[in-house]
Amino acid sequence: MKREQGFTLIELMIVVAIIAIIASIAIPNLLSARLNANESAAIATLKNISSAQSQCQASSVIDVNNNGAGEYGYFGELSGAQTVRGGTQRISPPVLSTAFGNVAAARVARSGYTFQMFLPDDAAAGIAEDATGGDTGNDNGVDAGQAETLWCCYAWPQVYGNSGKRTFFVNQSGDVLATNAAAVQYSNATGGTVPDYDAAFIGTGTIAMSAAVAANTVGVDGNTWVVVN
């Protein structure tokens, strides 16, 4: 009589147990790798944004008060997607990736992170760009003189713990800061908190963008912000 060949129930249970053990090890590692990759990409992007702002300001392509001193720009302007403030032309070639022209609700989503740019009003309080990018009507309240020296940008996870954990900040100094999120965890998820323009500055309450940033100390939001090397 021919003997049937196949796995026994015990053998199948052993195989399933081995697969479960491997999955329990691999899945957390894969998630950690994705978080690290997204955070590294966010840091690199903020450094590119800093370079783009320097180029924009040095070129004086934005000069609303016509004093010869260039001003910093919004994503819509830097990417060439929108006309510059006080003008009719666009930056060409753009100083920042055209992907940053895809502004929605004054923010840009990239690689698991959300980016938002702020420019100063006459009291150096942060002003976001138009919902679809730039400030084409020149009516957002950006002060031309203040915008010659001040800007800041944040990058935070679209879903905290899933697409990233750390929130990042950069301004005209060029240093990228990261928060430990001990006090506030930023996320675009339903019910999540997003950073105010002054979150990474030193002080209490609402302060100006001209204040010192919270490099290696506690910011307005109660989080500790450290310089990213």
Q: Supply the pLDDT for residue 222.
A: 94
Q: Is 156 helix (H, G, I), strand (E, B) or coil?
A: strand
Over 80: is that where the pLDDT of 223 sits? yes
Over 80: is that where the pLDDT of 22 sits? no
Amino acid at 31: L
140: Cα within 13 Å, side-chain hemisphere? 27
Q: Is 179 helix (H, G, I), strand (E, B) or coil?
A: strand
Region 156-161: mean pLDDT is 95
**For residues 189 and 125, what is the distance between their CA atoms, to the nearest angstrom?**
26
pLDDT for 92-109, tens place per residue?
A: 999 999 999 999 999 999
Q: Supply the pLDDT for residue 229.
A: 78
Q: Supply the pLDDT for residue 49.
A: 98
Smallest CA-to-CA distance from 155 within 42, 26, 12 is with 42
